[in-house]
Chain A
Amino acid sequence: MSLKLQPKKWPGKIREVTLGAGNRQPRTVGGGNGLPLHTFEADFPHRPVLALEVTDINPPRWLDIVREPWEGLLGKPADAARKAAEQYGADLIMLNLMGTHPDRGGRSPDQAAIDVEAVLDAVRVPLIVKGPGAGAKQNDVLARVAEKYHGEGLVLHSACQEDYKTLAAVTVAYGHVLVSESPIDLNIAKQVDILLSDVNINLDRVLIDPLTGGLGYGLEYTYSVMERIRLAALGGDQMLNSPMICLVGEEVWKVKEVKVSERQEPRWGDQETRGINWEVATAWSLIEAGAEVVVLRHPDSLARVRKILDAWFAEGASNNTR
């Protein structure tokens, strides 16, 4: 009696979203018509992509373990981006404009634009630009950047249910991609996509950020919300079938389990490897749950996740780059 293992077929599929345009080498994500990584029964024209995070200022709260690979480059986003793309193998870069936050120096939208320009000049990979977080400053900074670098297909992070109109408008007007953020909640994720399509954003220009809970700090919530979003998309829901982006690095590198040294907790083992393991475990679990764009902080984490993906998608990889 041999096994009858039927491939599972779904009516829907994930939207294809192209990151980067103009002077960027574009990279498309999404397009899969099955559960994440279920390569044995579904087609995945594009593989998940991995970004490294660079910052406009010397980040005040980064641990030494994640500072070390960026020695001398923290707060020099163009140099850091070059190293990330050329040496560390990042598929794309996330420029975190944390210095524009009023608590972290309050750099102006014009200063932010200078940083963006420097990074755009330094690398050809697509660029995610992360603002200082919800609030008036977020829109000022991201709208300025969006306008100035129109046509570059920047990924603007992010709009939310309460505040999306400004960024939606500049996304449409200047040819960018917008991240729609929701607080680990499927219904709100859908609501934001509906709101965005109501203001005439083509959802082929939207990524969903379901909000990442790091390993041990809410991972299970993000994991299940992402699985449910993916199932809704495969079931044919056109308002939930955007590819998902997860900001893993910033969640991982602040938790107690990566901050505590081996001297303090001998049972927890080597702190550096533990931290990288923490980032890899978080990233990989979320890729299993459906993440298509994963933003990391430590280049060793990126190398390890990339190695798994390279082997996974080695067959038929020729159409994976565009």
Chain B
Amino acid sequence: MALTGLQIFKLLPGTNCRDCGYTTCLAFAMKLAAGQVSLDKCPTASEDIKATLGAASAPPIRGVTIGKGERAITVGEETVYFRHDKTFVRPTGLFRMIDPNRLSDGEIEKHLDDWATIGIERAGELFRVDGIAMIEPAGSRERYARLAEAISRRGMPVALMASTIDGVRSAVEKIKDQRPLIVPSPGVDQSPFVALAAEFKLPLVITGKDLDDVAATAVDAAKHGVTDMLLEPPAKDARELHQNLSRLRRGALDRIHPGLGYPIFLRVAAGEFDKVVIGITKFASLVAMENAAGEAWLPYWTLRQNIYTDPQKPLQIDPSVHSIGEPDENAPLLVTTNFSLTYFIVSTELDGTGVPSRLAVVDAEGMSVLTAWSAGKFSGEKVAKELRRLGATEHVKHKTVIIPGYVSVISGELEDALGDGWRVLTGPQEASDLNAFFRDVWQPMMNG
């Protein structure tokens, strides 16, 4: 919990020495509480105060960055249990695991070339493989270093899934400037890995037999100089995974233990689709997964996009008139809101009808049709104004506009507002019925 100005004031020396730049300790305390100034401005603050304040002002879950450059990924920094309370801020990093014990270097290079270039655009987001989790090859330190370097060379963040300290050290030495994540195998003695992470100031995954053990190990690692950590909870099945993820997030937000305030790491075997779904919805920060192809990645990416969308800011697209196929002046003109999902669905269905048409997407602040209408953003007058502004009325000869079936009530008002002989036709409620609408209503009308 953040401290109030008065709580902080009680911890300050109370000398009003002004060395901090403020006239009184109280004024300084207020600025501290607001996060507008740092405690090091106070020359006489004791170590105790620094520790207390430092802990209180730190975010409940530390932000940890893996990788360097454009593709570096930061995870953590979450502040809520439910996305509707604010938003989830750092989308789950999805890492592809590679096992060099099953592949030749040539095959690995080919995979890396491929995965580094994957980029699927959806609703304004570019879906990519966020990083590579490289398992330590048996028997060759040089090979591990070489493979780690091969990932870094392509700009992708690296997780080193290490089984031996010597192996991972050789890889770390090769790419230490690339901020790789060190991931010891579960069950190994973690102390040498802690020392290595501390020495190179690198992020480290902490494991444990239960959450008590994980938290205690994290505190111990912090004492030994590791600042950036991810916690890997035990997860033998979906239920245990969900339980531990939920308790870790809640414990971190409630600040019940200093060892819990870190992002969460999760490794999943091939075919454990459900664990990834649970991880994305329930607080996992970084998931390293074995063999999974596009048919799994596409739903993962899309789920992550949904869960990490800011609930306060609906996805919207720019208002404009979209052509479906090659519409002429007799083609139907439809209108809908600029909520991106509404647009996706309507344009997908329009495309499916095979009838060339124009879809006027009007500014309704990114709300869906019914919501926009009830908020007064999709009234007859507003829609008329937008249709004129976008020039939608200039494209067609028939002076007819089709409105969504759910807002049939605006048709009179819209006709009046458009004037000039325009008429309004009420379309179907669901975009999926557009095909039947064109067949049964639009075409007979145009032909008759």
The segment from A120-128, A194-202, A266-274 that touches chain B is A266-274
Q: Smallest distance from the beta carbon of B116 to chain A beta carbons, Å?
A: 14
Cβ contact within 8 Å between B238 and A257: no
Residues of B within 8 A of A4 (CB): 256
Whether a CB of chain B sits under 8 angstroms from the CB of A87 is no
Cβ contact within 8 Å between B344 and A217: yes
A 159-192 contacts with B by CB, 8 A: 183
B 70-94 contacts with A by CB, 8 A: 82-84
Complex Cα distance A32/B263, Å? Answer: 30
> A288-322: contact bitstring with B at CB < 8 Å (1 yes, 0 no)?
10000000000000001000100110000000000
Cβ contact within 8 Å between B302 and A216: yes
Which bracket fits the contact residues of A?
35 or more
Instruction: Look across to chain B and name the residue whose beta carbon is closest to the beta carbon of A274.
Output: B295
Cβ contact within 8 Å between A223 and B273: no
Cβ contact within 8 Å between B299 and A267: no
Residues of A within 8 A of B307 (CB): 220, 223, 285
Cβ contact within 8 Å between B243 and A40: yes
Cβ contact within 8 Å between B257 and A277: no
> B338-350: contact bitstring with A at CB < 8 Å (1 yes, 0 no)?
0001001100100
Q: Report the interface size for chain B: residues with CB under 8 A from the other chain.
A: 54
Residues of B within 8 A of A285 (CB): 277, 281, 303, 307
Cβ contact within 8 Å between B432 and A254: yes
The segment from B164-172, B209-217, B413-421 that touches chain A is B209-217
Q: Given A183-B370, A227-B82, A288-B278, is A3 in contact with B212 using a C-beta cutoff of 8 Å?
A: yes
Cβ contact within 8 Å between A215 and B303: yes
Complex Cα distance A245/B231, Å? Answer: 35
Contact of B295 among A37, A40, A215, A270 (CB under 8 A): A270
Residues of A within 8 A of B302 (CB): 215-216, 257
Residues of A within 8 A of B195 (CB): none
Instruction: Look across to chain B and name the residue whose beta carbon is closest to the beta carbon of A219.
Output: B306
Cβ contact within 8 Å between B311 and A268: no
Contact of A228 among B84, B242, B303 (CB under 8 A): B84
Whether a CB of chain A sits under 8 angstroms from the CB of B354 is no
Residues of A within 8 A of B211 (CB): 3, 5
Whether a CB of chain B sits under 8 angstroms from the CB of A224 is yes
Q: Given A216-B122, A220-B309, A268-B295, is A281 in contact with B277 using a C-beta cutoff of 8 Å?
A: yes
Q: Smallest distance from the beta carbon of B407 to chain A beta carbons, Å?
A: 13
Complex Cα distance A278/B243, Å? Answer: 24
Complex Cα distance A8/B341, Å? Answer: 36
Q: Smallest distance from the beta carbon of B319 to chain A beta carbons, Å?
A: 20
Q: Given A5-B211, A269-B298, is A220 in contact with B242 using a C-beta cutoff of 8 Å?
A: no
> A193-219: contact bitstring with B at CB < 8 Å (1 yes, 0 no)?
000000000000000000001011111
Cβ contact within 8 Å between B299 and A220: no
Contact of B247 among A40, A220, A262, A274 (CB under 8 A): A40
A 18-69 contacts with B by CB, 8 A: 37-40, 61
Residues of B within 8 A of A254 (CB): 432
Contact of B432 among A61, A224, A268, A308 (CB under 8 A): A61
Q: Smallest distance from the beta carbon of A318 to chain B beta carbons, Å?
A: 18
Cβ contact within 8 Å between B295 and A224: no
Q: Smallest distance from the beta carbon of B132 to chain A beta carbons, Å?
A: 17
Complex Cα distance A41/B216, Å? Answer: 23
Residues of A within 8 A of B305 (CB): 216
Interface pairs (18), CB distance under 8 Å: A1-B219, A3-B212, A3-B257, A3-B260, A4-B256, A37-B239, A228-B82, A256-B348, A257-B298, A257-B299, A267-B298, A269-B295, A274-B294, A277-B299, A280-B274, A281-B273, A284-B277, A311-B238
Which B residues have a C-beta under 8 Å from some C-beta of A? Answer: 82-84, 118, 120, 122, 211-212, 215-216, 219, 237-239, 242-243, 246-247, 250-251, 256-257, 260, 273-274, 277-278, 281-282, 293-300, 302-303, 305-307, 309, 311, 341, 344-345, 348, 370, 429, 432-433, 436, 440
5 additional contacts (CB under 8 A) given A281-B303, A284-B277, A285-B277? A183-B370, A215-B306, A266-B294, A269-B294, A304-B273
A-B pairs with lowest CB-CB distance, top 10: A269-B294, A269-B295, A274-B295, A220-B306, A216-B302, A224-B84, A273-B295, A40-B243, A269-B293, A281-B299
